[in-house]
Amino acid sequence: MVWLRSPLLHAAGFAHAFSTRIGGVSPAPFDSMNLGIADAPGEPDQWRRVDENWRRFLLAANMSERQLVRIAQVHGCAVLQADRQPEMIRNVSPFVQGDALLSGEARHALAIRVADCVPVLIADVSTRVVAAVHAGWRGVVSEIVPSTLREFAARATDMRNVRMAIGPCIQQAAFQIGESVAIEFQQRGLGACVIPNPNCNGKWLGDLPKSIQIQAQTVGVAPEHIDHCGACTLQNRHLFFSYRRDGARSGRLAAIIGASFK
């Protein structure tokens, strides 16, 4: 199995991982570590295979003994607190809707799924509180990452203690957007993250990782406390799933993190 980790989070002692598509049991076109969808039209995967992939992923990330916590992601701005809303967070379908999970309980393994959107893992090295965030362009303009960081602040986090990792996602060279979306970025102070596409009149290119870095720094996270792997999901078919590239034939990647014991 191939998975990625953040140097910052690893150095701080947090169990975490970003999956790739390598090392699972799903057949083509979801080959092979599909962690998200088993009911695509036409060529569905099977949930028993997806569940086995999750088992392997948790084992590789050294979190197989923790309670896996997942949510139904809706490209919004809801931050759910797994350690304070136990009646809402259950590892069964239907999942509670939201786009960020936060917990200070070491028994939790917080997970989000992506297939081009940005997986963001956040940790406080002092309180050991962690979060997993799903951020597509709608999540960026609705400020899902700043909203999550404000929940950290509500738990007495000093932003100097925050470490953040941005995982594999669609990169600017491949992320074509319409003018209306570019305007939304500009209206939220993220004009430096969108540029006209020189190869396609009327289209723009958006930089989601840079947008998230700017937003986090505005809240108070130091730039040296943010790392970004820089891998593009759309342009690297061998390692990553991509919805923009493959549509309904795309599987799902995942990012996972656990609060460490003090």
More confident residue, 90 or 168: 168
pLDDT of residue 44: 76
What does the domain layout of the chain look like in residue ranges? 3-171+208-258, 172-206
Q: The tokens of 246 are what?
A: 């493959």
pLDDT digits (tens, 9 = 90+) for 121-156: 999 999 999 999 999 999 999 999 999 999 999 999
pLDDT of residue 92: 61
Res 42 pLDDT > 70: no
Superfamily for domain range 3-171+208-258: CNF1/YfiH-like putative cysteine hydrolases (3.60.140.10)
**Integer angstrom CA distances of residue 250 from 116, 169, 172, 212:** 10, 14, 20, 24
pLDDT of residue 37: 76
**Integer angstrom CA distances of residue 48 from 19, 32, 245:** 18, 13, 25
Averaged pLDDT, 17-31: 96
Burial of 176 (0-12, 13-18, 19+ CB in 10 A): middle
pLDDT digits (tens, 9 = 90+) for 162-211: 999 999 999 999 999 999 999 999 999 999 999 999 888 889 999 999 99
